[in-house]
A and B are shown apart, each in its own frame.
Chain A
Amino acid sequence: MLGFLIRRVLQAAFVVLVVTLLVAWAVRLSGDPAVMLTQGAGSVTAKDLANIRTGLGLDRPFSAQYLGFLGGMLTGDMGRSFIGGTSVGLLIRHALPLTILLAVVSLALSIAASIPLGIHAAVKRGGTADQVIRILSLVGLSFPNFWLGLMLVLIFGINLGWLPPSGAGEVSGIVMPAATLAIILTATNVRLVRSTMLDTLSQQYIMVARSKGLKQRVVLYRHALRNCAIPLVTYIGLQFGGLIGGVVVVERVFNWPGMGSLAFDAVSSRDYPVLQAVVTVLAALIVTVNLAVDVAYGLLDPRIRSE
């Protein structure tokens, strides 16, 4: 088990390292930040540019800059934003919890919806309910999440006026972004629950439980669902990257001030230190979640460890 753990942690660290290297390289491709910062600033001498470069530490060789960035990421000092000189660490500390909050709430909502729906579809396999759920889940996978967000704003924000159309100021501000993400997530998760449940229901211990005369509800939720939990957690963990991608887009629709909005503002103002930090932090988060899921799976199922 220890070997498995060490191997997976090293693999995860390697992935994050490559990601940081790629991002640092890509940012360097983009041209001279000193020139971009002084655009439209009137007369700029070569000396001014050199001063800015020294100030930003851009006169050092790439390896030194990269190692400096890595060291900074580890100690939490991620440099300063090109715009206004705010500490990048501070920006991330404000945005990251909001992104995680949105992701977790949507995931929880989606799990709460997909488990009963998926179980129902599996039990009534081939019946009308199963077909309706199947078609709805296909439809749910067929529109962009931001459009669903817009439609919710149109219906509940503008026409009915029940909910605020955007912002994280009030508690009700999270309802529409979370609902948007949860609906899209449920479309995938319902299929996962259904197929794992079908596998489980064909097992002998389910037959035994039934033959003991246990109620259907007890058989499904006590016996079957528990054994579905391991594959479900794995699948859902693997989707975490996709979920973060979705959050980034939906944040923009609802002006939710998380990592997506931060990244988006950084892109439009070419604020590379912020963009670099956002991408690195999110990649590290995704890798960590995947690692945690893998390790949990390894702990619960001995067959995985030896692979």
Chain B
Amino acid sequence: MRRFKKLEFIAGILLTGTMVLLVMFSGLLFPDGGEAMDLSARLARPGVDWAHILGTDPIGRDVLARVIVGGRISLLVGVFSVTGAMVVGTIMGLVAGYYGKFWDTILMRWADVQLALPFILVAMTFTAILGADLWNLIVFMAISQWVQYARVVRGSVLTLRDREFVQSARSFGVRDWNILLHHLLPNVFGPVLILVTLNVANNILLESSLTFLGLGIDPIIPSWGGMLADGRSYMQTAWWISVFPGLAIMATVLGLNLLGDWLRDFLDPTAKV
């Protein structure tokens, strides 16, 4: 079991690391940004020509280049949306858990409202109104997910705030913000980190779904969801356009899920899930 856990960790690091490095250096690997059109090789099959090892799309663009360049959008959305949600949610959770009463009630009732709405529907409504755009999408995601962090942090703070180390700090006259920052925040780090890992994975999936539906990123910018939407019309003749971007999503998200899972066991060895 233990050896297996280690393998899980190594696989997670390898998958995530490879994808992140490829995407980070995509500018060096593919200076044309995946936009170069090889009109003599339209809809080339994968594995035939070394220049287009994963084939080309209907206007002769290299699928491998576009898959790697397209990863930028996914990682950007994943990282920024989760950072936003984490910062806001952690602060709200700390305040609600520590001061309790009024703020706590407001927070928990608001959380009920947000949990009743599937993200996809909210995103649809707001995209219809504000238009599809990278930053709009990041902001929607942060707004719809901060509640998760707030709940986790609130839960931990509730169990921590009456513990001896907090009480003794208080009895020394340590200020509230100092207690929150130096005594409580480090103790909620673990659960928040797990949530971050799993939510980056989840948001990459959400972004690709919305872009696939035409509600996310502008289709002109290469992105995994956008490529899959294009590939859908060519499924009869060119399967590779809709297979490889999906595999890229899977590799990235699986890597993150493996890491998140490992982290959960690492931080809480008694958990059985």
Contact = CB atoms under 8 A, between A and B. Distances in A.
Interface of A: 11, 14-16, 18-19, 22-23, 26-27, 29-30, 126, 131, 138-139, 141-147, 150-151, 153-154, 158, 191, 194-195, 198-199, 241-242, 244-245, 248-249, 252, 263-264, 266-268, 270, 272, 275, 278-279, 282-283, 286-287, 290
23 contacts: A15-B116, A16-B116, A19-B117, A27-B125, A27-B129, A139-B250, A141-B253, A142-B250, A142-B253, A144-B225, A146-B212, A150-B232, A150-B235, A198-B272, A241-B116, A248-B121, A249-B209, A249-B213, A267-B125, A267-B215, A279-B122, A286-B117, A287-B116
B243 A151 contact: yes
Contacts of B47: none
B173 interface: no
A244 B246 contact: no
Interface stretch (B22-30, B56-64, B94-102, B107-115): B107-115
Given A245-B118, A245-B121, A252-B213, 19 more contacts: A15-B113, A19-B113, A19-B116, A26-B129, A27-B129, A30-B129, A139-B254, A143-B249, A146-B212, A146-B213, A147-B249, A151-B246, A153-B235, A158-B236, A241-B115, A241-B117, A248-B121, A264-B124, A279-B121
Contact of B257 (A131, A138, A241): A138
A146 B109 contact: no
B167 to A, nearest CB: 26
Provide the main secondary structure of the chain B interface: helix
Provide the main secondary structure of the chain A interface: helix
A14 B108 CA distance: 13
A73 to B, nearest CB: 15
A144 B236 contact: no
Interface string B241-273: 011001001100110011001000000000011
Contacts of A27: 125, 129
B239 interface: yes
A151 B128 CA distance: 28
B273 A147 contact: no
**Minimum-distance CB pairs A-B, first 9:** A245-B118, A142-B254, A30-B129, A147-B246, A142-B253, A267-B128, A245-B120, A143-B250, A195-B273
Interface of B: 1, 4, 109, 112-113, 115-122, 124-129, 201, 205, 208-209, 212-215, 225, 228, 231-232, 235-236, 239, 242-243, 246, 249-250, 253-254, 257-258, 261, 272-273
A242 B148 CA distance: 14
A26 B125 contact: yes
Contacts of B201: 142
Nearest to B231: A150
Contact of B213 (A26, A141, A264): A264
Nearest to A135: B8
Contacts of A270: 128
B246 A143 contact: yes
A9 to B, nearest CB: 13
Contacts, number: 135
Contacts of A241: 115-118
Contacts of A144: 205, 208-209, 212, 225, 246, 249
Given A138-B258, A144-B212, A267-B215, A282 B118 contact: yes
A154 B239 contact: yes
Contacts of B235: 150, 153-154, 158
A217 to B, nearest CB: 23
Given A138-B258, A158-B235, A249 B120 contact: yes
B125 A244 contact: no
Contacts of B116: 15-16, 19, 241, 283, 286-287, 290
A242 B206 CA distance: 12
B227 to A, nearest CB: 11
A194 B271 CA distance: 12
Contact of B124 (A14, A142, A198, A267): A267
B272 A195 contact: yes
B232 to A, nearest CB: 6
A142 B121 contact: no
Contact of B119 (A126, A146, A245): A245
A279 B126 CA distance: 12
A138 B254 contact: yes
Contacts of A138: 254, 257-258, 261
B242 A150 contact: yes
A249 B117 CA distance: 15
Contacts of B254: 138-139, 142
B272 A248 contact: no
Contacts of B121: 244-245, 248, 263, 278-279, 282-283
A151 B228 CA distance: 11
B125 A23 contact: yes
B73 to A, nearest CB: 14
B209 A26 contact: no
Contacts of B205: 143-144
A29 B116 CA distance: 22
Given A138-B257, A249-B213, A30 B246 contact: no
